[in-house]
Amino acid sequence: MLNFRFIMEHIRNHPIVSTISIFVGMGLVSEVIWKTVEYFRDKREKASRVHEVLIFNELGEICASHHLRECYPKTLEFHCQNKYCTTKNTGKIVEQFDRAVYSIDLAIYTFTSMTISEALKRALHRGVNIRIISDGEMVYSCGSQIIVLSELGIPVRVPTTTHIMHNKYCVIDGAERVEEIRQAKKRKWMRPCHSIAITGSVNWTRQGFGGNWENCVITADEKISSMLQAEFDRMWRAFAKSETK
């Protein structure tokens, strides 16, 4: 105790020692700040490195009854030994929607999944700009969530010809779209975000996720996102006359 007092007195009274102490203190504080910044940067970079292939098949539903009382995606501690688990696979798609910061552009042939619809509603509530392109007939199919989302104010466009819009993809926070939003809002800077593309054979339906043999790729590859975003933008302009709100 005496030694501690003696040291403190010495630091206070000795200009060189007190100056060194201030520098050491500043060094420690800046180290803590730097480590905190690194932690959040690593977390964001980890999320931006996602490259995943989801496989849907006849084995996806064998564990479904075990998940009935669970509440994924609200809990991040969801685990299932079944690598084809429909609940887990769907949750991975939902996870990306829940990370969306500025935009979700969705081109989907059939969309009846309530789980994904709820994720889009949450994104809409956060202020994410959502646009949907679908097929002229399938948009009105039984259980279509596109109609539900359209009634909430999400703009929907469909082809104006008899050819079908058979795409099943979406781009989340596409770089070009985020830049467009930045310019429209006349902002100097935007919050950090990264482009994610979700694409594959699967329609976002109960049958598509739970029994069909399908695939879905989730990727942070910027080139893939950019190319899909460009086609989305081209279709969006081409289908302008069909917009429903």
Can 168 be counted among the known catalytic residues? yes
Looking at the Cβ atoms of 85 and 172, the one nearer to Zn ion is: 85
Can 221 be counted among the known catalytic residues? no
Q: Dihedrals φ, ψ of 217, to 5°?
A: -105, 130
Catalytic residue, candidates 67, 88, 135, 173: 173
3-state secondary structure of 49: coil
Tokens, residue 13 = 């009274």
The CA-based angle 62-205-212, given to 5 degrees, is 50
Catalytic residue, candidates 74, 166, 194, 233: 166
Site for Zn ion, residues 59 to 78, rule: CB under 5 A: 63
Minimum Å gap between C-beta 170 and Zn ion is: 24
**Half-sphere exposure (Cβ direction) of 70: Cα atoms closer than 13 Å:** 17
Looking at the Cβ atoms of 87 and 110, the one nearer to Zn ion is: 87
Can 188 be counted among the known catalytic residues? no
Looking at the Cβ atoms of 11 and 63, the one nearer to Zn ion is: 63
Looking at the Cβ atoms of 1 and 68, the one nearer to Zn ion is: 68
Instruction: Report if residue 85 touches Zn ion, rule: CB under 5 A.
Output: yes
Minimum Å gap between C-beta 60 and Zn ion is: 8
DSSP label at residue 212 = S
**Amino acid code (one letter) for 203:** N
Catalytic residue, candidates 67, 88, 168, 194: 168
Report the distance separating Cα 67 and Cα 88, nearest Å: 10
73 Cβ partners below 8 Å, 6+ apart?
A: 91, 94, 95, 98, 119
Report the distance separating Cα 132 and Cα 108, nearest Å: 8
Contact map string, positions 27 to 66, toward Zn ion, x by CB under 5 A: ------------------------------------x---
Size of the site for Zn ion (CB under 5 A): 4
Looking at the Cβ atoms of 48 and 82, the one nearer to Zn ion is: 82
Per the CB < 8 A criterion, the answer to whether 133 and 236 are in contact is yes
- Catalytically active residues, by annotation: 166, 168, 173
Q: Which residues bind Zn ion (CB under 5 A)?
A: 63, 80, 82, 85
